[in-house]
Amino acid sequence: MATRCKTAVLVSGSGTNLQAFIDRVGCGALDLELSVVFSNKPDAFGLVRARNAGIPTACIEHGGFTDRDSFDRSMAAKLDEWQPDLLILAGFMRILSAAFVARYAGRILNIHPALLPAYPGLNTHQRVLDAGDKWHGSTVHFVTEELDGGPRILQGRLPVVAGETADQLAARVQAVEHQIYPEAAGWVGEGRVEFRDGRTRIDGAIADEAVIQVFDRAGKKLQVSRPAADRTR
């Protein structure tokens, strides 16, 4: 990919992760070109954030379509007007069709609020608390047809605090997301991370496990662990 990776950000709601991208690009810490912010909801506050930052926006309401495939075809046609190199799902509350994923194979990123492969799906924070887990966090991964099952890139982990609620835990995880999501996307934009043959490669080596960043309970990064490099496959 080119140094200035043309990036489309897809949102359905408030767009807090989008704001993290806007802030990082704005201060020169992230070398992505935020080309367009797309939403399936015209009242999504993420569109306001984009306009305030001078980023073009586009919106197509999904309710006017009879099926997922027809909406996704229309969405793809609109996105292709900007010829994006990378698609960032930032609270985009739609399950993508197989055809859409194939069209942008290896170019769609998502962040899931759990330490994948544990806890795919919804209500992850309460499920972690109910299970009595000591660690929680969020995972950036490539998007495939398998929901929350694509190859992982970067994972932020933080300790669960005794007695906290699911909302309190969610807020701390979200703060970690705002750090790791732009960083992982930047790696992809720089060409350091790529999706090839259904797997993640980091600096040319297959990485079957995500890079792990460990944070303290206040959201301060403590350490980084790289997966063992495998250049034999």
Query: Active-site residue numbers?
Result: 112
Distance CA 80, CA 75 (A): 9
**Which amino acid is it at 211?**
V
Are 101 and 108 in contact by the 8 Å Cβ rule? The answer is yes
Distance CA 38, CA 75 (A): 9
Per the listing, tokens 């250049």 go with 231
Q: Which long-range contacts (CB under 8 A, 24 or more apart) does 120-128 make?
A: 120/147, 120/148, 120/149, 121/147, 121/148, 123/166, 125/166, 125/167, 125/169, 125/170, 125/173, 126/166, 128/160, 128/169
Q: What are phi and psi of 61, to 5 degrees?
A: -75, 130
Q: What are phi and psi of 217, to 5 degrees?
A: -65, -20
Distance CA 155, CA 114 (A): 9
